[in-house]
């Protein structure tokens, strides 16, 4: 039985550091005990109630998702319907929530993973480097 710090799972074991994420993103350990023993990890795109049910059924100690359960700090951790209740329900079930969002998107290994699984060629990154993305809006003046 290994003792992992869920916070270091991506940094140490997969080489995708949390430091590569956007500053406003929620990555790494979002909820749970960083010193908990981890034997099973349930992976899902989103931290949905169904994903949490799957993690519980699988006997997982971590629900690892791409999208974070929350971006803004929680004001309260309490029962709630739908996805808003996942953090409370996960902590209550003893399941840590770990997210790898923009750090995974920006890592070359992460960006290439989906095309490689689908058997499509990797042509070029959608975004280069860790520079902030700027939204450019163009408009025409009316006469």
User: For the segment 21-41, what is each residue's pLDDT rounded down to a tens digit?
Assistant: 778 888 888 899 888 888 888
Average pLDDT for the chain:
77
pTM comes to 0.73
Assess contact for 103 and 27: CB atoms under 8 A. Answer: yes
- In tens, the pLDDT along 3-18 reads 555 555 555 555 677 7
In the predicted model, what is the mean pLDDT of residues 45-50?
94
Count CB-CB contacts under 10 A for residue 48. Answer: 17
For residue 63, with 0-12 CB atoms within 10 Å meaning exposed, 13-18 middle and 19 or more buried, which class applies?
buried
Q: What is the mean pLDDT of residues 36-54?
A: 90
Helix, strand, coil percentages, rounded to 5, for the chain: 35, 15, 50
Which sign, positive or negative, has the C-alpha torsion 67, 97, 20, 137?
A: positive
Amino acid 51: pLDDT = 95
Task: Supply the pLDDT for residue 25.
Answer: 82
Mean pLDDT of 116-129: 63
pLDDT given for residue 60 in this prediction = 93
Check whether 134 has a pLDDT greater than 50. Answer: no
Asked if pLDDT for residue 88 goes beyond 90, the answer is: yes
Q: How far is CA 14 from CA 17, 88, 101, 126, 142, in A?
A: 8, 27, 14, 22, 53
Average the pLDDT over 126-140 and give the result. Answer: 50
128 in Cβ contact with 58 (< 8 Å): no
**Which 8-state DSSP code applies to residue 62?**
E
Neighbours of 5 (CB within 10 A): 14
Please report which confidence band the pLDDT of residue 77 belongs to, taking 50, 70 and 90 as the band edges: very high
Residue 118, pLDDT above cutoff 70: no
- Work out the angle between the directed axes of helices 49-58 and 86-93 (0-180°, nearest 10): 10
Band of residue 142 on the pLDDT scale cut at 50, 70, 90: low
């Amino acid at each position: 039985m290994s003792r992992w710090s869920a916070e270091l799972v991506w940094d140490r074991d997969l080489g995708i550091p949390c430091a590569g994420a956007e500053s406003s993103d929620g990555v790494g350990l979002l909820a749970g005990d960083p010193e908990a023993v981890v034997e099973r990890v349930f992976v899902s795109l989103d931290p949905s109630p169904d994903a949490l049910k799957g993690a519980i059924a699988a006997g997982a100690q971590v629900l690892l998702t791409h999208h974070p359960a929350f971006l803004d700090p929680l004001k309260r951790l309490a029962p709630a319907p739908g996805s808003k209740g996942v953090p409370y329900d996960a902590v209550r079930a003893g399941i840590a929530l770990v997210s790898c969002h923009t750090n995974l998107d920006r890592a070359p290994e992460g960006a290439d993973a989906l095309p490689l699984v689908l058997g499509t060629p990797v042509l070029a990154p959608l975004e280069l480097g860790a520079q902030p993305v700027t939204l450019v809006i163009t408009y025409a003046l009316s006469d």
